[in-house]
Structure 1
Amino acid sequence: MFKSLPLPLSDANATAGGGANAFGDLPEWDLSDLYPAPDAPELAADMDWLEAECAAFANDYQGRLATLDAAAMTECIHRYEKIATVSGRVMSYVGLRYYQLTTDGARAKALSDAQDRITTYTAPLVFFSLEFNRIDDAVYAALFSAGDLARYKPVFDRMRATKPYQLSDELEKFLHDSSVVGAAAWNRLFDETEAGLEFDVQGEKLNLEATTTLMQDHDRAKREAAAREMARVLNLNIKTFARIHNTLAKEKEIEDRWRKMPSPQFSRHLSNDVEPEVVEALRNAVVAAYPRLSHRYYRLKAKWLGLDKLQVWDRNAPLPTEAPRTISWDEARATVLGAYAKFSPHMAEIALPFFEKGWIDAAVKPGKSSGAFAHPTVTTVHPYVMLNYLGKPRDVMTMAHELGHGVHQTLAAKQGELLADTPLTLAETASVFGEMLTFRALLDQAKTPAERKTLLAGKVEDMINTVVRQIAFYDFECKLHAARAEGELTPDDINALWMSVQSESLGDAFEFMPGYETYWAYIPHFVHSPFYVYAYAFGDGLVNALYAAYADGLPDFQAKYFAMLEAGGSKHHKELLAPFGLDASDPAFWDKGLSMIAGFIDELEALDAQGV
């Protein structure tokens, strides 16, 4: 229940740049709202407070939770929430500083030391969830039926859902204490290995972010050079990446076995507060739709590019009719805020301070963490957004996506630290909706059929990357964890698992170059948050259905939408979607979302038939 480090959500690490450049004056984080400096007395005081309060909390409540009346339980939860807030503030600060410059030894040490100290300080709190779950069901139901405790019930309902899978108090404490040398350590090794990768593309030294960006370049030779260099460098490091995946998958298998989890995916479903059958329905609907989505679209794209077969470096290539352009930071900002304001001025008002108050770090810099994320920090401060802005059209969509997260996190903060966090399946709702608003605003401004075709193709590719590609990633992870349970995996074993999902998901329009089999190695989701990836497909399908309700004129849509975001993690997805007439547990629900993508491809085929 304590806040983790922010998760870098894209594939790479950034390179040169920063401050004023071709894209304009790019903002950088001002982290002083968290702490004035790494040696600030406020930070030291919070660390001292945590040490003392965790010990005092355990002394006051261990062995007594089942005897507390409503007033005493309320005070207990408020104290527990304050510990979560202070520890989250500390870890947010040291984590965000680290992600600004992952290659800096002092920042890495500060992060590691803070993790070690907080792990030690919070060790006495391990009793809390274990003892809480042993409270008699009737006592629990009566206690949490009214007053302030009733508000917290969704949090503790989710906690009690883990009851069948918890271990002895002693084992849980051991896992807590050893976490800093387990998954957390392997996560850092992955991050630091990625940050240190260097690519030589046509004589230019690049890091991963810039190299993957080149695979969207208009120049096909440049795209190919970047793709082949990616494969070369990943292959040089493949043993390290294979060791990381082997170790983390085995560690997870051991813990899942001890906890008697029914599957490797189950703990993710549990933390997402989503039923396994709902995820399975989503997965099956997407896989069944591969032929009418990705396979059909990529055959069209091969035709547009004049190719018999697409190569991996053509997957995200711009269309031949698309004029190369660099989008300034100011234009991107105006586009996204304008789209938000058209939906609701309130949405734009919430997003505006991110640009004005140092809540976005946008420049591409050596050693900066990969891609993009929005980290909520704690509910008493505000979120921070990380981008690696390179002036591409997709960077504008990334801005819209992460600001959507920021708006969601800001609205949910009123729930307080324990109730604000949204399960991953719903956490992607506002971000993907923000993208959709921006796309629709651009589509409405299209002046010619060719411009409309370019926008539609870009959106279809984004949706395929969000839905088809992420479900293929999910299938890869399922296969990886199942295979690792049978024994150690060589790099070739993992490569083969990766390729087994690629041709199935991308279709017969593709030919895969030698070396593409290593591309699993640089994707951080598999390391940082196993089985995270289906949340993207969940969010996209959900947003497509939501947007259809909005376009159909559902009464009071904006008010219902903001109420959903403000709820944070206080309600189950069934309850949140009911005002929109939607139900994610209905298998037909997912076909509605997928039909929107298919409809865009229908329009592209019609434009193609007209010679556009």
Structure 2
Amino acid sequence: MFQLPFPLRDVNAGHGDKNLGDLPEWDLNDLYTGEDAPELKRDLDWLEQACASFATDYEGNLEGLDAAGLLDCVLRNEKINQIAGRIMSFAGLRYYQLTTDAGRAKFMSDMQEKITNFTTPLVFFTLELNKLPDDHMGKLLAQNADLARYKPVFDRIRAMKPYQLSDELEKFMHDLGVVGDAWERMFDETIAGLEFEVDGEQLGIEGTLNLLTDPIREKREAGARELADVLGSNIKTFARVHNTQAKEKEIIDRWRGMETAQTGRHLSNQVEPEVVDALRNAVVAAYPKLSHRYYELKRKWLGLDKMQVWDRNAPLPMEDPTVVDWAAAEKTVMDAYTAFDPRMGELAAPFFTKGWIDAAVKPGKAPGAFAHPTVTDVHPYVMLNYLGKPRDVMTLAHELGHGVHQVLAAGQGEMLSSTPLTLAETASVFGEMLTFRKMLDGAKTQAERKVLLAGKVEDMINTVVRQIAFYDFECKLHAARRGGELTPDDIDALWMSVQGESLGPAFEFMDGYQHFWAYIPHFVHSPFYVYAYAFGDGLVNALYAVYAEGEEGFEEKYFDMLKAGGSKHHKELLAPFGLDASDPAFWDKGLSMISGFIDELEAMED
């Protein structure tokens, strides 16, 4: 199914620049040539028949299958997932190219409804799988090596065993998913349709958020105040979406008997709650030596008594405003990837030449950036909103890392290629770090080095500190919603309760900033998604430290890790590097890298 991977950083896009060069656009023909493509009709017809025959052949019969029979069942299920995923990838990617187009929105909704209807009879598969006794499953896996390869899939499915409802209720839940999707679409379309007026210019949310990085402080302030006003005018709608989504989740969690609102996310991420708690606690404890210390430096650089929210992502006074055109961005990233290992460059090259990247900022296009893997017999697609800033080059390196990871993991097949969110950021953040180090090594002056270091620290703070603050906000939001309906003021207060703590004493908060939770898509589309960013950044910082120390055979181990996709647990993947995420000291190792960059910036002040 189509699931949108969300942007790493705050949405940061605007109206583009005619000096950026020839920006690539997607060619979706590798999926389907159009809504009326005969191949699409063929696949829909096949899917309807395949789902019906799968249910006829296997419902009520899983317990009687031998190892070869269960393998056939799994392979048929995998093919169904592949065809359904192909259809929804095509519908979803077309929609995100132009979210304001009613035809594309209808097509995506129609495809989602069809596939939901086709696949509802398949709900029995996971339910019956979970009813098989552990010793019976163990015997089947021992008898057939091809079947045993799917053990990680069975383990993930069977992790839900304690929370499983009756067959009838599970089918009801499956059907009801379309309603939850409608609230998500309402959020997307509301955000995409917002209109902002700044200095007489009409802007969408991308262009307005982009003003928060403008070199001119008055423009940043004007953008922030207009954001606050427009979000405030629509805050009841956003509060309704959040209340409804959080309540729906609370009902499902209660019926399933899940211990916390976060339990489902931890299960899908294949990460233990105590590991997430250790990460969260390590980051919160590090706020003073990370964000508080960095923003105090930035306050001095900007010559301010107090930072305002519109100064958080302000360019530095010594920053070179030169726009990086697309050709230069491509060369920078490709050089960094190839220098690490020529195979990495070879894997990245087709993204630039075969229509696998959509880079330009266009009216109605979804904000931010993502890499979508589609299905394992096609290839990933990368979406950017490229404006030619050095940070946009980092975003290209990041999303391209996702793409390379997805290409390498595709060999695992549909059911084993997808990594949990906690590991999904590995190649993206590593690719970003390779590009950053390449740019840092090429810095010609102390000022250039300072700007690059500061930019990297800001990105890391946005990835680690800000995302953990988001996570704390979500934890508070879902806990509060269990006590009853939340007013917009209630949600505003929860938002502000984490902002001062995470950003530090260098900041003052303007009236209206309390509404800024409203535009962040993660909270609506994928509750508790955000901690995976901090997990991924901390993991990669520790991994990069091993690489920088000259670990023998690192490249081969790294490629093996990416090729594993979702077939191994984080403990198993990190073991060859001598790392263990369940060790509390692991997170301090990653956070120390950020702190070390700030040490270097402070030393430049002397």
TM-score (norm 2): 0.99
1:356 aligned residue:
353
Tell whether the 8 Å contact from 1:14 to 1:369 is kept in structure 2 after alignment.
Answer: no
1:458 aligned residue:
455
1:6 aligned residue:
4
For residue 140 of structure 2, the aligned residue among 119, 143, 150 is 143
Tell whether the 8 Å contact from 1:14 to 1:368 is kept in structure 2 after alignment.
Answer: no
Counting only pairs closer than 5 Å after superposition, residues 289-304 of structure 1 correspond to structure 2 as 289-304=286-301
CA distances 1:324-380 after superposition (whole Å, capped 9, x unpaired) = 111101111111111111111111111110010000001111100111000000000
One-letter amino acid of the counterpart of residue 168, structure 2: E
**Structure 1 SS opposite 2:416:** helix
**Structure 1 SS opposite 2:197:** strand
State yes or no: 1:559 paired with 2:540.
no
Tell whether the 8 Å contact from 2:12 to 2:209 is kept in structure 1 after alignment.
Answer: no
How far off is 1:603 after superposition? 0.5
Counterparts of 2:171 and 2:428, CA distance in 1: 36
How far off is 1:554 after superposition? 0.6
For residue 227 of structure 1, the aligned residue among 213, 224, 227 is 224
Tell whether the 8 Å contact from 1:7 to 1:528 is kept in structure 2 after alignment.
Answer: no
2:152 aligned residue:
154
State yes or no: 1:602 paired with 2:599.
yes
How far off is 1:199 after superposition? 1.1
How far off is 1:11 after superposition? 4.7
How far off is 1:13 after superposition? 8.9
Compared CA separation, residues 396 and 460, structure 1 to 2 (3 A): same
**Structure 2 SS opposite 1:205:** strand
For residue 105 of structure 2, the aligned residue among 104, 108, 127 is 108
CA distances 1:497-525 after superposition (whole Å, capped 9, x unpaired) = 00000000000000001100000000000
Counterparts of 1:53 and 1:297, CA distance in 2: 57
For residue 391 of structure 2, the aligned residue among 389, 394, 399 is 394
Counterparts of 1:522 and 1:396, CA distance in 2: 24
Counterparts of 2:583 and 2:124, CA distance in 1: 38
One-letter amino acid of the counterpart of residue 119, structure 1: T
One-letter amino acid of the counterpart of residue 573, structure 2: L
Question: Which deviates more from structure 2 when the two are superposed, residues 88-97 or residues 204-213?
Answer: 204-213
How far off is 1:6 after superposition? 2.0
Tell whether the 8 Å contact from 2:14 to 2:208 is kept in structure 1 after alignment.
Answer: no
For residue 379 of structure 2, the aligned residue among 379, 382, 395 is 382
Counterparts of 1:5 and 1:32, CA distance in 2: 20
2:522 aligned residue:
525
CA distances 1:252-289 after superposition (whole Å, capped 9, x unpaired) = 00000000000000100000000000000000000000
Counting only pairs closer than 5 Å after superposition, residues 324-339 of structure 1 correspond to structure 2 as 324-339=321-336
State yes or no: 1:537 paired with 2:534.
yes
Unaligned runs of 5+ in 1: none
Counterparts of 1:106 and 1:21, CA distance in 2: 29
Counterparts of 2:274 and 2:224, CA distance in 1: 37
1:57 aligned residue:
54
2:129 aligned residue:
132
Tell whether the 8 Å contact from 1:249 to 1:484 is kept in structure 2 after alignment.
Answer: yes
CA distances 1:415-474 after superposition (whole Å, capped 9, x unpaired) = 000000000000011111111011000000011111111111000000000000000000
Tell whether the 8 Å contact from 1:94 to 1:114 is kept in structure 2 after alignment.
Answer: yes
How far off is 1:8 after superposition? 3.9
How far off is 1:50 after superposition? 0.6
**Structure 1 SS opposite 2:382:** strand
2:478 aligned residue:
481
How far off is 1:7 after superposition? 3.4
2:344 aligned residue:
347
For residue 274 of structure 2, the aligned residue among 272, 277, 285 is 277
Counterparts of 1:561 and 1:604, CA distance in 2: 30
How far off is 1:212 after superposition? 1.1
CA distances 1:491-549 after superposition (whole Å, capped 9, x unpaired) = 00000000000000000000001100000000000001000000000000000000000
Q: Cα RMSD over matched residues? A: 1.0
Tell whether the 8 Å contact from 1:15 to 1:368 is kept in structure 2 after alignment.
Answer: no
For residue 179 of structure 1, the aligned residue among 177, 183, 191 is 177
Counterparts of 1:416 and 1:565, CA distance in 2: 14
For residue 433 of structure 1, the aligned residue among 430, 434, 451 is 430
Counterparts of 2:506 and 2:214, CA distance in 1: 20
Q: Which runs of 4+ in 1 moved over 6 A?
A: none
Tell whether the 8 Å contact from 1:13 to 1:194 is kept in structure 2 after alignment.
Answer: no
One-letter amino acid of the counterpart of residue 520, structure 1: W
One-letter amino acid of the counterpart of residue 408, structure 1: H
How far off is 1:4 after superposition? 3.2
Counterparts of 1:374 and 1:584, CA distance in 2: 25
CA distances 1:282-332 after superposition (whole Å, capped 9, x unpaired) = 000000000000001111110111111100111011111112111101111
For residue 309 of structure 2, the aligned residue among 306, 309, 312 is 312
State yes or no: 1:166 paired with 2:150.
no
- Aligned residues between the structures: 604
How far off is 1:209 after superposition? 1.2
How far off is 1:16 after superposition? 4.6
Counterparts of 2:3 and 2:36, CA distance in 1: 20
State yes or no: 1:514 paired with 2:515.
no
CA distances 1:70-99 after superposition (whole Å, capped 9, x unpaired) = 111111111000000000000000000000
Tell whether the 8 Å contact from 1:293 to 1:597 is kept in structure 2 after alignment.
Answer: yes
State yes or no: 1:39 paired with 2:36.
yes
TM-score (norm 1): 0.98
For residue 202 of structure 2, the aligned residue among 190, 196, 205 is 205
One-letter amino acid of the counterpart of residue 567, structure 1: A
Counterparts of 2:200 and 2:6, CA distance in 1: 28
Unaligned runs of 5+ in 2: none
Tell whether the 8 Å contact from 1:13 to 1:195 is kept in structure 2 after alignment.
Answer: no
Counterparts of 1:283 and 1:231, CA distance in 2: 29
2:70 aligned residue:
73
How far off is 1:15 after superposition? 5.9
Counterparts of 2:430 and 2:275, CA distance in 1: 21
Counterparts of 1:21 and 1:302, CA distance in 2: 33
Counterparts of 2:445 and 2:18, CA distance in 1: 31
How far off is 1:393 after superposition? 1.1
